[in-house]
Structure 1
Amino acid sequence: MIKSVRSFAIGAALMCGVAVAAVQPAAAQATKPVEWSMATPWAGGHWLDIGAKRFAELVGQMTEGRVKINVFPAGTLGSALKVTETVQSGIAEVGHNWPAYDWGIDRTGVIFGGWSGGLTPEEYMLWLYNYGGADLWKQWRQEVSGVVVVPCGLLETEIFMHAHKPVRTLEDYKGMKVRTSGAWAEIATDLGASTVVMAGSEVFPALERKVVDGIEWGGPGINMSAGFHKIAKYIITPGIHQPSGAHECMFNKDAWAKLSDKDKGLIELAGKLTTYETFIGYAKEDLAGYAFLKSQPGVEFVELDESFIEAARKASFAWADKQSGANAWFKKAYEHQRAFQASIKDWSKFRLPIGAAQ
């Protein structure tokens, strides 16, 4: 089924390109074949394989080889947390990135990348493609960063924490030293924790050596692969700090300008198809990962109390309101997303939640 959908999408894209070419001068549609490098923040795992490499593969297929993208792991072409700078400078023509890693430059990235007051995976799909979220994202990146962006990945709901102690209440959380990133790095401190931001390669050893009391990283699938359950007994859910998120594929503006309109359109479609494939792919991995983690001896799942969840919700929106007063783009993106959230408040009244039928 997935293969047929993929084939249909690619075929439709190529037919669309042929139709466009028929009404435009041939010279305007010609793209000299290019071979580009992609920088990423990922040392390995499914964000590199299902995300970055799959996008590159689809771009090559859809453009019939006119655009070839070679994907490099974290640190190969520049700092793992500075992919945007690597692309801006032209060291890499393409980057696969989580926009909230640009925290120190513009905090607007958390609205698009995912945060504790944000969207579930299903809501992200609607916001990006039915409510104008993707277009707003492109405008923000072009204006603030000077790069061309295509949304190209939809992230799972994360596990709240792998920890050396059970956490249910705010009292349990207070005083903990936690590895995190993005907006939660500040919001968690408002709730009483001490936070540390570190690159992915440092997370496992920091948890293993108890440099930190707990870490957040990803959903059950990727966390299972990382092996956090082997060194920390407690798995805390739900992932209120990151209900979902999204990845971006960014292009150096000078490199992008050399492409034909046809190939630009096909790359946009490759991004949308990768978003769809990651949506279903990560969900499949997470279901399997959750079942595996639940079966492991010595591992204990712990649920946050509703009082903790409500306090985190209030702290998140208070934090965002404060950011809006100091950053016009943050305010614009935040209000756009909040308006969307208000527009779907009746969703649960006529749609059953996933997994409701048993």
Structure 2
Amino acid sequence: MASLQLTLKKFTIIAMVVTLFSAIHTAQAEEPVHNFKMATGWAGGPLSTIGAQAFADNVEQISNGRIKVQVFTGGALGNALKVSETVKNGVAEMGHTWMGYDWGKDSTTVLFGGYAGSPDSERMLHWLYQGGGVELQREFREEKFEVISFPLFIRTAEVFLHSRKPVKTLEDLQGLKLRTAGAWLEMSASLGAAPVTTPGGDVYPMLERGAIDATEWGTPWENISPGFHKVAKYVIIPGIHQPVAPFELVINKTAWGTLSDQDKQAVETAAKLTTLNSWLRIGQEDAKAMKFYVAEGNEIIELDPEVQFKAQEIAKTWAEKQATDNEWFARVYKNQQEFLALWEDADSYRKVLTRK
């Protein structure tokens, strides 16, 4: 009898455990699954693979499958240069873009997206995640553009130009037809260039047929996949126009409101994880890419110091002018400059001299 009672108790416990797990499974199954579309500005390359798609994979995993994001190539859901507008209007619930594309509506965007006066990528990451940048970005985008915004993907310094002509001096820049975007459109014109802007997918054919003399796009590694090195012999460095380029995740406010607090946290965590991973990957691959260009027969040209200093002077003058006319620009610029002042002696206590 005792043995029978013990067996019954075991069955009772097992039944209770099965019931409990069944209830948990049912509760999980009843949780809403969010199927979001993501508009992007990219035809492919690292921005798609270790940026937009990596975020989609990360957020699905972190949210335990409750958030699924389908990534669309640039232009599939709207203008590739107007992703924030596509998301605001609800054509897509999410978007992956570079905030600087919206500089014509509000120049503050370049402070978050990077411009000739920005710090390097390490300092920018610290400003974003430790110096108040993320909070300012979220507040700015929501107030001025009615979208939710977080950093998503970050570049190291870009290649200044892939060019059909050698470019080293200020004289070489005079009348040079170059593809660019953001505030550098205005600044490069001040250097004497003839800039135009176009979506990424149009750059290679324009360069190939000579409609433009040169282009900037991404870092050394990122520029391998578009193939600019095949139609432009000269690789011009350093990327004085873009020492860093944080990209962003934009989210439709209504879609954001449908997420639980837990899933909102999952989105933020996935975006931050993707951003940090992109920085690590790009830094490593850029080092390999420079050797690749040499092996492919490209000529690496370093800009004269005069050009580099002149670009920084133009950027400083431009930013100070923006700050006098734009309260948001002034607020973010002040915060960024205070952060950089804190870091101004960082090289002295962090870098050690080495012999080559």
Is the Cα–Cα contact under 8 Å of residues 40 and 95 in structure 1 kept in the other structure? yes
Deviations along 1:226-271, one digit per CA (max 9) or x if unpaired, are 1111111111111110001111111111111111111111211111
Note closer, same or farther for the CA distance 1:268–1:356 as it changes in structure 2 (3 Å cut). farther
Identify the residue that residue 42 of structure 1 maps to in structure 2.
42
Bigger radius of gyration, 1 or 2? 2
TM-fit CA distance, 1:104: 2.2
Alpha-carbon distance in 2 for matches of 1:307, 1:227: 30
Q: Which amino acid aligns with 1:246?
A: P
TM-fit CA distance, 1:31: 5.1
Identify the residue that residue 22 of structure 1 maps to in structure 2.
none
Deviations along 1:162-209, one digit per CA (max 9) or x if unpaired, are 112211111111221111111111001111111101111111111111
Structure 2: tracts of 5 or more residues without a match: 1-26
Is the Cα–Cα contact under 8 Å of residues 119 and 243 in structure 1 kept in the other structure? yes
Note closer, same or farther for the CA distance 1:174–1:78 as it changes in structure 2 (3 Å cut). same
Alpha-carbon distance in 2 for matches of 1:251, 1:258: 11
Identify the residue that residue 67 of structure 1 maps to in structure 2.
67
Alpha-carbon distance in 2 for matches of 1:357, 1:91: 56
Q: Is 1:329 paired with 2:328?
A: yes
Identify the residue that residue 340 of structure 1 maps to in structure 2.
339
Q: Which amino acid aligns with 1:129?
A: Y
Identify the residue that residue 163 of structure 1 maps to in structure 2.
163
Alpha-carbon distance in 2 for matches of 1:255, 1:229: 41
Structure 1: tracts of 5 or more residues without a match: 1-26
Is the Cα–Cα contact under 8 Å of residues 31 and 260 in structure 1 kept in the other structure? no
Q: What secondary structure sits across from 1:226 in the alignment? A: coil
Is the Cα–Cα contact under 8 Å of residues 161 and 235 in structure 1 kept in the other structure? yes
Alpha-carbon distance in 2 for matches of 1:356, 1:123: 23
Note closer, same or farther for the CA distance 1:168–1:337 as it changes in structure 2 (3 Å cut). same
TM-fit CA distance, 1:103: 2.1
Deviations along 1:253-310, one digit per CA (max 9) or x if unpaired, are 111111111111121111111111001111122122111012222x111111111111
Identify the residue that residue 308 of structure 2 maps to in structure 1.
309
Q: Is 1:291 paired with 2:307?
A: no
Is the Cα–Cα contact under 8 Å of residues 107 and 330 in structure 1 kept in the other structure? yes
Identify the residue that residue 140 of structure 1 maps to in structure 2.
140
Alpha-carbon distance in 2 for matches of 1:202, 1:130: 37
Alpha-carbon distance in 1 for matches of 2:355, 2:262: 44
Identify the residue that residue 86 of structure 2 maps to in structure 1.
86
Note closer, same or farther for the CA distance 1:238–1:325 as it changes in structure 2 (3 Å cut). same
Is the Cα–Cα contact under 8 Å of residues 41 and 81 in structure 1 kept in the other structure? yes
Identify the residue that residue 279 of structure 1 maps to in structure 2.
279
Q: CA RMSD in A?
A: 1.6
Further displaced range: 102-111 or 80-89: 102-111
Alpha-carbon distance in 2 for matches of 1:150, 1:314: 30
Further displaced range: 164-173 or 53-62: 164-173
TM-fit CA distance, 1:357: 8.0
Is the Cα–Cα contact under 8 Å of residues 153 and 246 in structure 1 kept in the other structure? yes
Alpha-carbon distance in 2 for matches of 1:152, 1:179: 24
Identify the residue that residue 349 of structure 1 maps to in structure 2.
348
Alpha-carbon distance in 2 for matches of 1:356, 1:188: 35
Q: Percent identity?
A: 44
Q: What secondary structure sits across from 1:225 in the alignment? A: coil
Q: Is 1:205 paired with 2:228?
A: no
Identify the residue that residue 23 of structure 1 maps to in structure 2.
none
TM-score (norm: length of structure 2): 0.89
Q: What secondary structure sits across from 1:64 in the alignment? A: coil
Identify the residue that residue 101 of structure 1 maps to in structure 2.
101
Alpha-carbon distance in 1 for matches of 2:31, 2:136: 27
Q: Which amino acid aligns with 1:61?
A: Q
Alpha-carbon distance in 1 for matches of 2:65, 2:354: 44
Further displaced range: 309-318 or 285-294: 285-294
Aligned residues: 328
Deviations along 1:87-143, one digit per CA (max 9) or x if unpaired, are 111110011111011122212111101111002111111111110111111010010
TM-fit CA distance, 1:63: 0.6
Identify the residue that residue 18 of structure 1 maps to in structure 2.
none
Is the Cα–Cα contact under 8 Å of residues 117 and 317 in structure 1 kept in the other structure? yes
Note closer, same or farther for the CA distance 1:349–1:115 as it changes in structure 2 (3 Å cut). same
TM-fit CA distance, 1:156: 2.1
Alpha-carbon distance in 2 for matches of 1:31, 1:180: 45
Identify the residue that residue 179 of structure 2 maps to in structure 1.
179
TM-score (norm: length of structure 1): 0.89
Deviations along 1:41-76, one digit per CA (max 9) or x if unpaired, are 001111011000001111100110111111111111
Is the Cα–Cα contact under 8 Å of residues 114 and 246 in structure 1 kept in the other structure? yes
Q: Which amino acid aligns with 1:332?
A: R
Note closer, same or farther for the CA distance 1:356–1:114 as it changes in structure 2 (3 Å cut). farther
Alpha-carbon distance in 1 for matches of 2:149, 2:42: 18
